[in-house]
Amino acid sequence: MSTPAASGRVRAGTRAVRLASASWRLHPRAVAVTITGLVLLALLMALNMRIGDIQLSLADVLAAITGEGPTHFVVMELRLPRALTGALVGAALGLSGAITQAIARNPLASPDVLGVTTGASVTVVAVLVANGAMYGGASGALAGLGVPATALLGGLAGALIVYAFAWRRGLDGYRLVLVGIGVTAVFTNVKYWLLTVGDVEDAGKAMTWISGSLNGRGWEHVTPVALALAVLVPATLFGTRSLGALRFGDDTVTGLGVRMNLARALMLLAAVLLAAVATAAAGPIAFVALAAPQIALRLAGTSHPPLLVSAVAGAVLANAADLVARTLFAPVELPVGVVTAVLGAPYLVYLLIRVRREARS
Amino acid sequence: MRLQASGVRLGYGDRIIVDGLDLGIEAGTVTTIIGPNGCGKSTLLRALGRLLKPAGGEVLLDGKRIDRIPTREVAKILGVLPQAPVAPEGLTVADLVARGRHPHQTWYRQWSSDDESAVSEALSMTGLLDLADRPLDELSGGQRQRAWISMALAQGTELLLLDEPTTFLDLAHQVEVLELVRRLHAEAGRTIVMVLHDLNLAARYADRLVAMRAGRVVAAGTPHEVLTEALLRDVFDLDAKIISDPVAGTPLVVPIGIRPSP
Amino acid sequence: MSTTAYAPPGRLPGGVPAIRRRRVLVLLTLVAALAVAALLSLTLGTKPVPLGDTWHALTGPTGTENDLIIRSLRVPRTALGVLAGIALGVAGALMQGHTRNPLADPGLLGVTQGAAFFMVIGIVAFGVTDLYAYIWFGLAGALVASVGVFALGMAGGRGGPTPVTLALAGTAVSAFLYALTSAVVLLDQQAMDVFRFWQVGAIAGRGTAIVWQVLPFVAAGLLLALINAPGLNALSLGEDVARALGRHITLTRVVGVAAVTLLTGAAVAACGAIAFVGLIVPHLVRPLSGPDQRWLLPYAGLLGAALLLFADVIGRLVAPPGELEVGVVLALIGAPFFVALVRRRKPVRL
């Protein structure tokens, strides 16, 4: 029982941590997964920063970050912000997905269901296609300045619509999901239709954006996501306890003394903001928000998606995907969102099978 | 021997709950399995009803390995009512009970007069005829439990395995369900195996008691043989006095207190 | 005293025949709705054809302009709409029944994305330009994807796949295939041009040959769905009860998945990504049918077809002289209706 091999396989094992009158419960395995994830993330970011017009060695990258090397500008102004955007956006999406899945009590739910990503997509595609058709090259200039703001507005508007229709004397997780499906379907199909309206070239540009891309992301993209995470991560961690309670049926939730509608509304707001900010920075990167919590859950061996681990898993997934997206068909670069699913989906399937096999043996 | 477990090893994943257990159920008896929470009663019942495949050993139905008999054929002989079953929302009582006829139906014979009479008989035996059209989720806990029992009855099997059929029921309804079990046994000659928590009711309504602890059968026999003060100490860590039930003459447990475990 | 508790065997009390009568009434209403939709689909369009001429074209065509429009354009279009609508409605109901998940659409097992990926590969690698050939690629893709998902769902576990692993494996494979499709499309502009039109979903301009091509698949799928209904009813009581009732769980799941694959594969290969119909229709009919799959499946099929045709007719009329593809119209009218329904009553859980 007490052999290391045996205790390593105990699932959902928690350990109490007490400091003066405060006490928390920690999952040792979740902590280990988080630390491993952070190390992996740092490594992936460093590898990402090697790539560009000038190929650098890992040593060059390190030198540029710490000191004044000749490549200081390139690394600090161009490559670091891109890697950071990837990490922060991935973390935000992972966290947002974990919250959404907890509230909807459904492993298939993601911020897409909340109307955020699809709302952003349809707005941006409308702008890109309309401008392209009317003013020719205007979409290029617009992509630099206007797109993030457009996406943010579109995303929040989409969420607001879902939220408004789903609210009826309280917020029922099940109704939220169903309303989300309906609203999302409208956005998605209008988006598809818009893609057929413009010419192929604009459709291609729009496709790239709605796949999610980290190409050319600078500090101006890092800052908003970093700020949002700085505020929302502590806020959501504070809400973890009520989130745990929200997983049960409504009667149990109320019985546990949680102010159900308020808790749900606040956590949902956090999920929406995280997804909206992430989408504004990098486009609706597919699959991260859905897969990261499920991957985190299976790695940490917990019964529900752990918030911090989900965020780390999202960050790792986004950076790993960007690395592949830039090297696979180099010099042609794929949008990162194309690769997140190519990497994340097989890994999720592998985890599904492994967990089942463990349960069986 | 209608139903027999020999040397069964049962568990979920790598957690083994019951190991090397033997138990025989004779035709036309009411057998009740008792024991503390987590001792493997329900696990054993699930294995007897082929809901759980043993990791070792075998379960025999009428002398044949139960996992080698087509599951539909088993369903015509043996009915199981699992603990805490789920039903889709909006299902009416009549619909639920009708689902019990499933093993007797084929795609071209979906609702014969046998089906019809079996369902109405099952409903009347549990006193649910008046509630037949009500959605299951509008019923009280006790009514719902009786609806599930009706479903198992409508299946029309000679063998019935019931996992805690009296949960959620008040004392009167508990007695009612157990009277029903007795009637099924006395009038239709059915063989019944159930898991019960109430020792006094178990003693009154069972021909045979099987006491389990930690995955093993500690004692088996008539209620008089099994329910002794010594056994209650061993199995439940309970100090109790056994007196004679003034109504039925069966053993009656009067608890004194919990023994501190050694 | 005990014998008095036995009721004389015979008919059940009160409501049961009434419920059956209501169910038949709903069924007839849905059939009528489909008939009206089909009639509208035949007569209305950029060029309206009077009822008399429509009848003339159907019974004894003499080669007039209207005869040509009806026979070569409207009839195949309507027939395809009926086939695809029935297929997707039934497939959606099956999928939600098996996964017990309201988010499950017929494309959940990777069928839609499998079809899309194989079609795109057909264009890029084999230089296919003919729509008929696309369909074979689409059907093959649908089949490969769903068999793959089912195998993954089975892998590593004892017994059949659980609904959650099936749904997650399906979502993962779909996302994977969609990503591959996007990659190909982003690198190849010609494929992009075909793909974006397939993606919207339409039943216009498909021709009679395509209708005959998908008909056997839809018919086989419907037969399997019919066989699957009682088993699915048993499964809805939980796997333990289903097994106690003598159901072979894995077999029931395999039949269900095969039905969904055939139905959805045929529909999306011919009409594009319109699996959304299959997602909402079961939710619309479930309050009428109750949880009995033997009624739910036909209701969902009939309403799916009627909805698809109505949406198509509206798409022909709203933006003259052009048309709006049926996929867009479906979302624009279907989704608000769906949201309103979800809001009005407590959604029926699975």
Return contacts of A322-327, CB within 8 angstroms, 24+ apart: A322/A48, A322/A82, A322/A83, A322/A86, A322/A214, A323/A44, A323/A47, A323/A48, A323/A51, A326/A48, A326/A51, A327/A51
* 3-class SS of residue C78: helix
Helix (H) or strand (E) holding B6: strand B3-12
More confident residue, A109 or B149: B149
Question: Which class for B15: exposed (0-12), middle (13-18), buried (19 or more C-beta within 10 A)?
Answer: exposed
- Predicted confidence at residue B44, as pLDDT, reads 93
Q: Is the pTM here over 0.90, yes or no?
A: no
pLDDT at A134 over 50: no
Q: Which of B24, B14, B3, B20 is nearest to B215 (CA)?
A: B20
Is residue C241 within 8 Å of B82, Cβ to Cβ?
yes
How is C242-277 classified by DSSP, letter by letter? HHHTT--HHHHHHHHHHHHHHHHHHHHHHH-S-THH
Please report residues of C whose CB lies closer than 8 A to that of A211: 182, 186
| Apex C219 CA angle, C215 and C223, nearest 5 | 175
Give the chain A residue whose CA is nearest to the CA of B11.
Answer: A360
Domains of chain A: 15-360 (1.10.3470.10)
- Annotate B96-128 with b (16+ C-beta within 10 A) or e (fewer): bbbbbbbbbbeeeeeeeeebbbbbbbbbbbbeb
pLDDT tier at A128, thresholds 50, 70, 90: confident
pLDDT digits over B73-103, tens only?
Answer: 888 899 888 887 777 767 888 888 888 888 8
**Alpha carbon of C338: minimum distance to chain A alpha carbons (Å):** 6
Please state, in angstroms and rounded to a whole number, the distance separating the CA atoms of residues A178 and A170: 15
Highest mean pLDDT among A74-83, A263-272, B153-162, C328-337: B153-162
φ, ψ for residue C219, nearest 5 deg: -60, -45
- Judge if the upstream peptide bond of residue A224 is cis by omega within 30 degrees of 0: no
How is C27-53 classified by DSSP, letter by letter? HHHHHHHHHHHHHHHHH-SSS---HHH
* 3-class SS of residue B193: strand
Please state, in angstroms and rounded to a whole number, the distance separating the CA atoms of residues B80 and B209: 19
pLDDT digits over B170-187, tens only?
Answer: 888 888 889 888 988 888
- Predicted confidence at residue A245, as pLDDT, reads 58
Query: How many beta-carbon pairs under 8 angstroms link A with B?
Result: 5
- Predicted confidence at residue A40, as pLDDT, reads 92
B13 contacts chain A (CB < 8 A): yes
Mean pLDDT of B31-47: 91
Query: How many beta-carbon pairs under 8 angstroms link B with C?
Result: 126
- Predicted confidence at residue A19, as pLDDT, reads 58
| Apex B229 CA angle, B228 and B231, nearest 5 | 65
pLDDT at B10 over 60: yes
Locate A83 and state its tokens.
Answer: 């890697």
Instruction: List per-residue pLDDT tens for chain C, 350 residues long.
Output: 333 333 444 445 444 566 778 888 999 999 999 999 999 988 887 778 888 888 878 887 777 878 878 777 888 899 999 999 999 999 999 988 887 777 677 877 888 889 889 988 888 888 777 766 778 888 889 889 988 888 887 775 655 566 667 777 888 888 889 888 888 888 887 788 778 888 888 887 777 888 888 899 999 999 999 999 888 888 888 888 888 888 888 888 889 989 998 999 899 888 888 877 888 888 888 888 888 888 899 999 999 999 999 999 998 888 777 788 888 888 888 788 778 777 765 555 55
Contact state of B99 with C243 under an 8 Å Cβ cutoff: no
Contact state of B129 with C13 under an 8 Å Cβ cutoff: yes
- Predicted confidence at residue C120, as pLDDT, reads 87
Please state, in angstroms and rounded to a whole number, the distance separating the CA atoms of residues B81 and B99: 13
- Predicted confidence at residue C221, as pLDDT, reads 94
Contact state of C14 with B133 under an 8 Å Cβ cutoff: yes
pLDDT digits over A56-93, tens only?
Answer: 777 777 777 777 667 777 777 778 888 999 999 999 99
Instruction: Mean pLDDT check: name the lowest of A127-141, B159-173, C34-48.
Output: A127-141
> What percent of chain A is predicted at pLDDT more than 90?
12
CA distances from B29 to B21, B125, B165 (A): 20, 20, 17
**Alpha carbon of A259: minimum distance to chain B alpha carbons (Å):** 26
pLDDT digits over A149-187, tens only?
Answer: 888 888 899 999 988 888 777 677 777 877 887 888 888
Mean pLDDT of A82-108: 87
Contact state of A290 with C175 under an 8 Å Cβ cutoff: yes
Tell me the one-letter amino acid at B40: G
> What percent of chain A is predicted at pLDDT more than 70?
79
Cα–chain center distance at B77? 15
Please report residues of B whose CB lies closer than 8 A to that of A358: 13
pLDDT at A32 over 80: yes
**Alpha carbon of B220: minimum distance to chain A alpha carbons (Å):** 32
3-state helix, strand, coil in chain A (%, to 5): 75, 5, 20
A5 contacts chain B (CB < 8 A): no
CB under 8 Å to C48, separation ≥6 — which residues? none
Mean pLDDT of A289-305: 83
The overall average pLDDT reported for chain B is 87
ipTM: 0.72
pLDDT digits over C24-39, tens only?
Answer: 899 999 999 999 999 9
- Predicted confidence at residue C16, as pLDDT, reads 56
Give the domain ranges of chain C: 27-342
Contact state of A339 with C179 under an 8 Å Cβ cutoff: yes
Locate A341 and state its tokens.
Answer: 């699913």
More confident residue, A101 or A3: A101
**Alpha carbon of C1: minimum distance to chain B alpha carbons (Å):** 11
CB under 8 Å to B226, separation ≥6 — which residues? B209, B210, B211, B219, B220
Please report residues of C whose CB lies closer than 8 A to that of B46: 240
* 3-class SS of residue B243: strand
Mean pLDDT of A227-238: 86
pLDDT at A136 over 50: no
Does the C27-342 domain belong in CATH 1.10.630.10? no
Chain B segment 221-260 residues within 8 A of C by beta carbon are none
pLDDT tier at A131, thresholds 50, 70, 90: low
B119 contacts chain C (CB < 8 A): yes
**Alpha carbon of C157: minimum distance to chain A alpha carbons (Å):** 5
Helix (H) or strand (E) holding A82: helix A80-104
pLDDT at A17 over 80: no
- Predicted confidence at residue C249, as pLDDT, reads 83
- Predicted confidence at residue A241, as pLDDT, reads 63
CB under 8 Å to B261, separation ≥6 — which residues? B237
